Amino acid sequence: MDHPRNDGSSPVSLRRRLYCRLQLKSYSAIEVGREGARLKPLNILIVDDSQTARRMLRAVLWSQQWKVSEAEDARTGIRKFEELKPDAVVMDLAMPDMDGVEAARHMSAVDPSIPIVLFTIIPFSGLERPARDAGISAVVPKNEAWSLIGQIDNLVQRPHATNS
């Protein structure tokens, strides 16, 4: 009995090749920097009052093998920011105890070198200057969560991992 020759065009072969490409691309983006050296994983602080939003953000950030800490309100976020000294912060704009711009102002007073990304569903027009003055580095709409990876990667200067 003749077996069909696998020339790479079968649906299974195409799926396998695509999966391997995605895995390789994911690995190279996570583990290897532009110079080819292994990078330390980032520590990211998520500040959002929505558990659903935090869960979704956690999944997106974990996809890069980054370490994630969470705060369910702005005041807790400020406290964790001071304790953890994260590499970056992803913060909601509208929270019940304090808005994200005001929280960013407090965080920037502690350490202005840590990038803060405002992650919001609320239209941002008119808030650009107050946000920038408060220390917010970038604004990402909630419907573009995957763009956070590139934004954070571009904002953070990462040291290379040691070979220990």
pLDDT of 21 reads: 41
Q: What is the pLDDT of residue 17?
A: 45
Per-residue tokens: 133: 């003055």
> By the 8 A CB rule, do 137 and 109 touch?
no
Strand pairing category for 67-71 and 116-120: unpaired
Q: Considering the chain, what percentage of its residues have pLDDT values greater than 90?
A: 57
Residues 114-153: pLDDT tens digits? 999 999 887 767 777 888 999 999 988 888 888 999 999 9
Higher pLDDT, 98 or 36: 98
Banded pLDDT at 72 (limits 50, 70, 90): very high
Give the pTM. 0.73
Closest C-alpha to 93, from 59, 52, 127, 69 = 127
Place of tokens 């965080």: 107
Helices 100-110 and 74-84: crossing angle in degrees, nearest 10, is: 20
Residue with tokens 């980032």: 42
In CATH terms, is domain 43-155 a member of 3.40.50.2300?
A: yes
Token pair 């239209």 is found at 123
What residue spans define the domains of the chain?
Answer: 9-39, 43-155
